[in-house]
Amino acid sequence: MAIRPISDAAAEKAAASIHQPRDPNTLSNYNAWRTKRTTADFNIDFDAKKVVGHVTLSLARLAKEPKIVLDTSYLDITSVEVAGSKADYELAPSRMEPYGSPLTIQVDDKHANEDELDVRIGMQTTKDCTGLQWFDPAQTSNKKHPYMFSQCQAIHGRSLFPCQDTPDVKSQYTFNIRSPLPVLASGLSTGARDFQPGKDGKSGPRSTVWTGPEELQECQWEFEHDTEPYIQAAEKIVYPYAWTTYNVLVLPPSFPYGGMENPMYTFATPTLISGDRQNVDVIAHELAHSWSGNLVSNASWEHFWLNEGWTVYLERRLQAAVHGGDQYRDFSAIIGWTALREGIERFGEEHEFTKLIVDLKGKDPDDAFSTIPYEKGSTFLYYLEKLVGKQKWDKFIPHYFTTYKERSVDSYEFKATLLDFFASDADASKKLNDLDWDTWFYKPGYPPKPDFDTTLADQCYALAEKWKSLNSSSSSDFTPSPSDISNFTANQIVVFLEALLAPSPPLTPSLVEKMGSVYGLAASKNVELVSRYYLVGLQAKTESLYEPAAELVGKVGRMKYVRWLFRELMKVDLALARRTFEGKREFYHPICRGMVEKMFREFEGGGEVK
């Protein structure tokens, strides 16, 4: 499969003039040699749990540099050829944590005047590969076949094959994959690259869902109502969808994220399949990545907010367009503000990772991952919209995504492009030039909180106060009833439950149990709801919920739930938490597994679990 060309000549000239790469999290010398095309010829060996084959990188020369340096991590390199001839190479004998082992390839003098070279590398993955997760048949839903999926963000692509593992490099790619089982990959399958929905007046679906046969129909039902309206709403805000079809692959429960924005194929957690269509806003988020992240990418993980802040901003614009106005948009932002607070409290208000632009030199981008770039970034864009006015701002959105289409961008280019766009508008230009950019970019902790419309949230807070009154007074006249939440959306129930979490005094265990019974929370298929209900119960030391919470965290690998539930389980029953983790160790994705192991080290070492 292959995708269209990416960077243009102007971008290449700019890159060649920069001596220091923008991305500190790669060991590659991508400003001397830059990947233009990637061709992978792979065999998938399910028995040995490894990928074996060759990868060919077509590299453009940007500087007089006799060595090509590529990123690798836990790879077995078997051969290297440059322009069809065997080449001298060295795989560093020791790792440069957390970035892996650089592969250095010598370019002979006879190629000194060539502008582009093909490098063909024989390789195979190893058992320590962090970008792949393998399942035995017994670990799948129908227990018939093995299964494997890849997850390469942020710096795990280098564990799959040698590459320039940085979002600052975009290339065409072709994957030729031989497998005993069907393969689904992000890209245009052979013969589909010219697909045009609705061509010549003929209608055609431009979104599909993929998953196991037992789950297929319920996944289709969950997404079929909202996906096309989301696509159409996004096209009105930005410009037409550029990737032919938009598809969703629902992965096994150990997938560590809500979704991952691979071009044309969103990889999604099965926790979205709640039977009530209440979690499809994640699809709005991943769809928005088709513009912010896939077409226009952050130049490095230090500028991650450009991917995620823009995507959350667009996600909420889609929600407003599809679900009914800015009241719904602001309600989603209120939920996001709670997530932002949780992220800042986890690191501490003065921590480097609570800035909009973070310093990741020598650091693992996975350690910085949190809700902060999502919510602080979207808050900044929301602020800019209010600053210049929505009508003017809406003209900038397609301009930005056109200017950097198929390219990578950093925060300073974003700023320069914004100022240039409004240069002829005296009022907007003055406001933007007077803006304290350094505070927004570099000040840790909280940004200014917008004045949200709280209409929908106020109903949730009022119900939470009634439960708190039961907790603090025997004279309360509140009698809980299923009708309390009968008109609530799932997100409103989330806000209600979050209002009962710390720093609020915990409810009594008997009240928590009553809430679960009256509202049916423990029996809900919606993991967003039941996980938060268990958090309320764990903080209240409701012993009857310890085992159910452990059972949930043992079968859901999405990292936000895993972090929440293990953090609270450790506090109330460390032995149960440890037993649950060890019993399910191989269930968790390597990224998630490493996160939980770090949490246990912190807690058992006497520190505070973040």
Please identify every residue annotated as catalytic. 286, 374
Preceding omega of 503 cis (within 30 degrees of 0):
yes
For the chain, the residue count is 610
| Closest residue by Cα to residue 309 from 374, 386, 367 | 374
Q: Is 152 part of any known ligand binding site? A: yes
Contact 132, 51 (CB under 8 A): yes
The whole-angstrom separation of Cα 417 and Cα 409 is: 10
> Distance between CA 490 and CA 260 in Å, rounded?
23
Query: CA 556, CA 527: separation in Å to the nearest integer?
Result: 9
Which amino acid is residue 313, in one-letter code? Y
Is 317 flagged in the annotation as binding?
A: no
570 is in an annotated binding site: no
**Is 285 annotated as ligand-binding?**
yes
| Rounded Cα distance, 68 and 29, in Å | 7
CA gap 65, 34 in Å, rounded: 12
C-alpha 190/C-alpha 135 separation (Å) is: 28
3 state SS for 74-89: CEEEEEEEECCEECCE
- Assess contact for 379 and 343: CB atoms under 8 A: no
Is 324 annotated in some ligand binding site?
Answer: no
> Cα(10)–Cα(582) distance, rounded to whole angstroms?
52
Torsion of CA 560, 564, 567, 570, to 10 degrees: -120
Instruction: Specify which residues 59 forms β-bridges with.
Output: 35, 117
**DSSP H or E segment with residue 117:** strand 116-125
Nearest-angstrom CA–CA distance, 550 and 540: 16
151 among annotated binding-site residues: yes
Q: How far is 418 from 435, CA to CA, in rounded Å? A: 12
Residue 172 labelled as part of a binding site: no
Cβ-in-10-Å burial (0-12, 13-18, 19+) of 83 comes to middle
> Does 559 count as an annotated binding residue?
yes
261 is in an annotated binding site: yes
> SS in 3 state form for 332-381?
HHHHHHHHHHHHHHHHCCCCHHHCCCCCCCCCCHHHHCCCHHHHHHHHHH
Task: Determine the Cα–Cα distance for residues 442 and 350; give it in Å rounded to an integer.
Answer: 11
Q: Is 260 annotated as a binding residue?
A: yes
DSSP state of 163: B
Q: How far from each other are the two terminal CA atoms of the chain, in whole angstroms?
A: 41
599 is in an annotated binding site: no
| Residues 135, 116: Cα–Cα separation, whole Å | 40
Cβ distance 522 to 516 under 8 Å? Answer: yes
Bridge partners, residue 149, by sequence: 133
At 535, give phi and psi (nearest 5°): -65, -45
The reply to whether 289 sits in an annotated binding site is yes
Give per-residue burial for 64-79: e unless 16+ CB within 10 Å, then b.
eeeebbbbbbbbebee
Contacting residues for 46 by C-beta, under 8 A, at least 6 apart: 134, 146, 148, 180, 181
Asked whether residue 257 is marked as a ligand-binding residue, the answer is yes
1 is in an annotated binding site: no
Q: Which residues are annotated as a binding site?
A: 151-153, 256-261, 285, 289, 308, 558-560
The annotation places the binding site for Zn(2+) at 285, 289, 308
Numbered residues of the known binding site for a peptide: 151-153, 256-261, 558-560
